[in-house]
Amino acid sequence: MTISAEKILPEPSLTEVADGVFAYLQPDGGWCVSNAGLVVSDGVAALVDTAATEARTRLLREHVTADGRPAPAVLVNTHSHGDHTFGNHLFPEATIFAHAHARNEMDRAGLHLTELWPGVVWGDVRVALPQVTYRDPVTVHVGGLAVELVPVGPAHTTNDTVVWVPERGVLFTGDIVMSGVTPFCPLGSIAGSLRAVDELRRFGATTLVTGHGPVGGPEILDVAERYLRWVRDLAREGVAAGSTPLEVARAADLGPFAELKEPERLVPNLHRAFAEERSTALGEELDIVAMAREMGVIFQEMVTYKGEPLSCCA
Ligand SMILES: [Zn+2]
């Protein structure tokens, strides 16, 4: 197989994790450096997510269609974020599936992510909206394989989907959990993420392909659960003490979570956890628009916490 698109380092790879089920991994899994997935059966292919930039998506397309594989007829977006969706338009043969809220959010957010990271060479990125949306689980038959699209959350966002291939024991989790990378829930929910981790356990998957970081097993869920509980407890104490999320983050000992990439995400996660701690109504609608408005301030707080600018290698 020859891959001719411009060199991206570290080099992404496509690995078959089970018969006909592939993980497309983009190291090192940091900000906007996301994974994708591929299911191929009886000459039909389904892609899970695209990539942030034009160059990364063109390389993804070359890998996906190498070795005589067909262009994907189905493309599932696990959620609305641009690092998983900005390359949608480079798979024009595919019908795009996503949670109904994901479509709304993609439409509302547009290419806003490109403004958060002006140093990235985005290339030709576009908002190509899903053609099929759902609010309840949907099964797509890809050749001989059933592929279940299951809405979960609010967790990482208000529009998360996990993609389950029951005959292969493989679960594509999107960003609800990430492997070796700090969770990121300011536009989703901490409590909802904890519930989502429980739901993910019930699939009984042997292989987890997460939205960022290496392929793993159910231990990824354990790490996520411990982290989320820790954030929730910190927020409970912080609210009781009258502290701010940034104060709590700076005083907190990361302990084992220091090994997770992007530890500065503790700040936005605490913002979300503080809001949930103060809210009396469980399951109250999240004020996503207000949170999005606050994100500029929260990004600045992450820089303060980290003591240097955030870096995005997309
Ligand atoms: Zn995301």
- Kindly state whether residue 250 falls inside one of the protein's structural domains: no
Cα 225 to ligand 1 centroid, rounded to whole Å:
18
- Note the pLDDT of residue 294: 77
Domain containing 42 equals 13-218
193-224 pLDDT, tens per residue? Answer: 999 999 999 999 999 999 999 999 999 999 99
- What lies within 8 Å, CB to CB, of 245 at 6+ separation is 235, 238, 267, 270, 271, 273, 274, 301
pLDDT band, residue 299 (cuts 50/70/90): confident
| Whether the bond into 263 is cis, omega within 30 of 0 | no
Cα 175 to ligand 1 centroid, rounded to whole Å:
5
62-82 pLDDT, tens per residue? Answer: 999 999 999 999 999 999 999
- Note the pLDDT of residue 4: 53
- Note the pLDDT of residue 73: 98
95-132 pLDDT, tens per residue? Answer: 999 999 999 999 999 999 999 899 999 999 999 999 99
- Token representation of residue 93: 């043969």
More confident residue, 4 or 296: 296
Burial 221-234 (b: 16+ CB within 10 A, else e): bebbbebbebbbeb
pLDDT band, residue 313 (cuts 50/70/90): confident
- Kindly state whether residue 68 falls inside one of the protein's structural domains: yes
**pTM of this structure:** 0.94
Is 269 exposed, middle or buried (CB count within 10 Å of its CB: 0-12, 13-18, 19+)?
buried
138-196 pLDDT, tens per residue? Answer: 999 999 999 999 999 999 999 999 999 999 999 999 999 999 999 999 989 999 999 99
- Kindly state whether residue 270 falls inside one of the protein's structural domains: no
Cα 178 to ligand 1 centroid, rounded to whole Å:
10
- Kindly state whether residue 151 falls inside one of the protein's structural domains: yes
Cα 185 to ligand 1 centroid, rounded to whole Å:
9
- Note the pLDDT of residue 288: 60
In DSSP terms, 136 is beta-bridged to none
- Kindly state whether residue 273 falls inside one of the protein's structural domains: no
Instruction: Please report, for the domain that includes residue 109, its CATH number.
Output: 3.60.15.10
278-288 pLDDT, tens per residue? Answer: 885 445 555 66
- Kindly state whether residue 142 falls inside one of the protein's structural domains: yes
- Kindly state whether residue 3 falls inside one of the protein's structural domains: no
- Kindly state whether residue 26 falls inside one of the protein's structural domains: yes
Q: How many domains does the chain have?
A: 1
CB 271 within 8 A of CB 186: yes
Cα 241 to ligand 1 centroid, rounded to whole Å:
31
Cα 108 to ligand 1 centroid, rounded to whole Å:
15
Query: Quick check: 251 pLDDT over 70?
Result: yes
Cα 144 to ligand 1 centroid, rounded to whole Å:
30
